[in-house]
Structure 1
Amino acid sequence: MHFQWYPGHMTKAKRMMQENIKLIDLVIELVDARVPLSSRNPDIDELGKNKSRLIVLNKADLADEKKNDLWYEHFTSQGFMVVSVNSKKGSGIKMVEQGIQNACKEKMEKDRKRGILNRPVRAMVVGIPNVGKSTFINALAKKSVTKTGNKPGVTKGKQWIRLNKNVELLDTPGILWPKFEDQQVGLDLAFIGSIKDEILQTEELAYHLIDFITANYSGVLAKKYEIKEEGKSYEILEQIAVNRHALLRGNELDIRKAAMLLLDDFRNGRLGRITLEVPEVV
């Protein structure tokens, strides 16, 4: 499966970020806790250099708890402030507020020495499509201030959001980079739904996911679908089709429907807490 996907609106979004970065004190980067490295946009390190940084491991409730701890240690060791959150339920959001203050302590101290008091921290919220930025911002603002949707590309333009007298947020559309040098990154992003399903080969994606889960989370598929985790990935997907009554006319198995059911169960946490990548031990 080969990925190369960079719609025109993402070029525009990147240009918008470049234009607005000078207004910003802090870059808040959302990543998906299930694929923290694959869901980071390398452009953001370049765009955000010389700015305070906060990495938010979003959807942490869907990720393996022990792996969340490993990623926290990994990013902290690189000098980032790091917070794990579940934006849908609001857990971890208070830690984000504290993280913003900690990340901008130096800036606030400089302002104080120059006699500038009560100037709000201006933060830019960035992240790839479908990482949950709008849900995160609404949770942080404690009200609905942005559109949300379980599809990439819901946020279309920039908007300033005043959280309180201390913090103003600049929301930006999700951006991906021009091409995936590592095709595994493309796979990981396809698994979590950051690449539109319409451009993917769903069955092939499901086979890759089955291979990963049976190798790393043995027994999960057997328990969920009451099947045997035996044979090739296509045979396991056929068993899932039988279990979920995914049938075409004439009782032929609907493999594409079974693949979509599997991906949907993974994306929504119905297979349990699964993390697709771990930090490299240096």
Structure 2
Amino acid sequence: MQQINWYPGHMKKTKELIQKNLKLVDVVIELLDARVPISSRNPQIDEIVVNKPRIIVLNKSDLANPNDTNKWIKYFKKLGVNAIAINSLSGTGLDKLMSEIHSAVKEKMDERIKKGLRKRPVRAMIVGIPNVGKSSIINRLTGKKSAKTGDKPGVTRGKQWVRLKGNIELLDTPGILWPKFEDQNVGLKLAFTGSIKDEILDIETIALRLIEYLCEKYPTYMKQRYKLSNIEDDGLKNMDNIAKNRGCIISGGRIDYTRVANVVIDEFRSGKIGKITLESPDDLESTIEE
């Protein structure tokens, strides 16, 4: 499989935009995908944000394993960062996010009042890799379509300030990936969840790797969803059996690999296979330097 290495020019500009505008904000909201909290963390964000108050938001928590999500919240708390789980599509957890924003800047705002400065809106910046749901969150918080949304990465371009209820002004930024994935497993997980454009990937190979992972870690879900009588040791055999059970066959009885690949990837991303988290704090050694 080709090395996943995707860093369009607009992402370099986004990094510069975040650095330039950081001084304007009181708090940074770092948005992660609850299914892949480490793989969806841009390591450059730590370097860029430095000492600003920060809140980690685990979005798409409705698609993730709830036990693993709780483990991640505890993990980030140990690192000294508050983390909350939300579902931007239903709005679950957004009230908690609003109160966390105010808590994070309370000391700074109290200081302003003591100095006799007028009360001003809290200024927050939202950052994250592509397709983790920034636009959906903003639209939920404003109650209108302030930000473009799409199920493909790279929809938001340029920066925009959005006024939220609760006297908060939010700076939206485009999704930012990092220049290369040193661990190819990180690239694979981002491909599974849709943070890398499908157009630049070998979709059949990505689906095969996803099937291998799910058959190993979530065999019961795979058996139930795809009517598999048993899980084979060979991932390609499992892919073939899924294709046969779903009618992904072309003339001559051959497997339509593109079609079965799209079925499995779409059903994983929409949560139809089950509530699945692809990484746990327990297996961090290989994916993060603490």
Q: Normalising by structure 1, report the TM-score.
A: 0.96
Residues 73 and 82 in structure 2, CA contact (< 8 A), matched pair in contact too: no
**Deviation per residue, 1:243-263 (Å, 9 max, x gap):** 211122333210121011101
CA distance in structure 1 between the aligned counterparts of 2:240 and 2:118, rounded to whole angstroms: 64
CA distance in structure 2 between the aligned counterparts of 1:243 and 1:165, rounded to whole angstroms: 51
| CA shift for structure 1 position 118 | 2.0
1:248 corresponds to 2:250: yes
Question: Residue 126 of structure 1 aligns to a residue in which SS?
Answer: strand
**Deviation per residue, 1:175-217 (Å, 9 max, x gap):** 0000011111111101100011111111221222122212211
Question: Residue 104 of structure 1 aligns to a residue in which SS?
Answer: helix
1:276 corresponds to 2:278: yes
CA distance in structure 1 between the aligned counterparts of 2:272 and 2:94, rounded to whole angstroms: 24
Which residue of the partner structure matches residue 232 of structure 1? Answer: 234
Which residue of the partner structure matches residue 258 of structure 1? Answer: 260
1:175 corresponds to 2:176: yes
Identity rate of aligned residues, in percent?
51
Higher deviation after alignment, 143-152 or 113-122: 113-122
User: What is the one-letter code of the residue matched to 1:147?
Assistant: K
**Deviation per residue, 1:78-121 (Å, 9 max, x gap):** 11121110000011110001110111122112212212232111
Residues 41 and 128 in structure 1, CA contact (< 8 A), matched pair in contact too: yes
Which residue of the partner structure matches residue 167 of structure 2? Answer: 166
Question: Residue 265 of structure 1 aligns to a residue in which SS?
Answer: helix
Pairs aligned (count): 282
Higher deviation after alignment, 222-231 or 52-61: 222-231
**Deviation per residue, 1:216-268 (Å, 9 max, x gap):** 11211110011132241111111111121112233321012101110110011
Higher deviation after alignment, 110-119 or 175-184: 110-119
Q: 1:1-150 residue pairs with structure 2 within 5 A?
A: 1=1, 2-150=3-151
CA change 1:144–1:66 in 2 (3 A) is same
Unaligned 5+ runs, structure 1: none
Residues 219 and 229 in structure 1, CA contact (< 8 A), matched pair in contact too: no
CA distance in structure 2 between the aligned counterparts of 1:65 and 1:43, rounded to whole angstroms: 27
User: What is the one-letter code of the residue matched to 1:276?
Assistant: L
Which residue of the partner structure matches residue 213 of structure 1? Answer: 214
**RMSD value, Cα:** 1.3
| CA shift for structure 1 position 165 | 5.5
Residues 211 and 235 in structure 2, CA contact (< 8 A), matched pair in contact too: yes
CA distance in structure 1 between the aligned counterparts of 2:166 and 2:215, rounded to whole angstroms: 50
Unaligned 5+ runs, structure 2: 286-290
CA distance in structure 2 between the aligned counterparts of 1:176 and 1:240, rounded to whole angstroms: 32
Question: Residue 153 of structure 1 aligns to a residue in which SS?
Answer: coil
Q: Normalising by structure 2, report the TM-score.
A: 0.94
CA distance in structure 1 between the aligned counterparts of 2:270 and 2:165, rounded to whole angstroms: 32
Question: Residue 67 of structure 2 aligns to a residue in which SS?
Answer: helix
CA distance in structure 2 between the aligned counterparts of 1:247 and 1:57, rounded to whole angstroms: 38
Question: Residue 162 of structure 2 aligns to a residue in which SS?
Answer: strand
CA distance in structure 1 between the aligned counterparts of 2:106 and 2:265, rounded to whole angstroms: 42
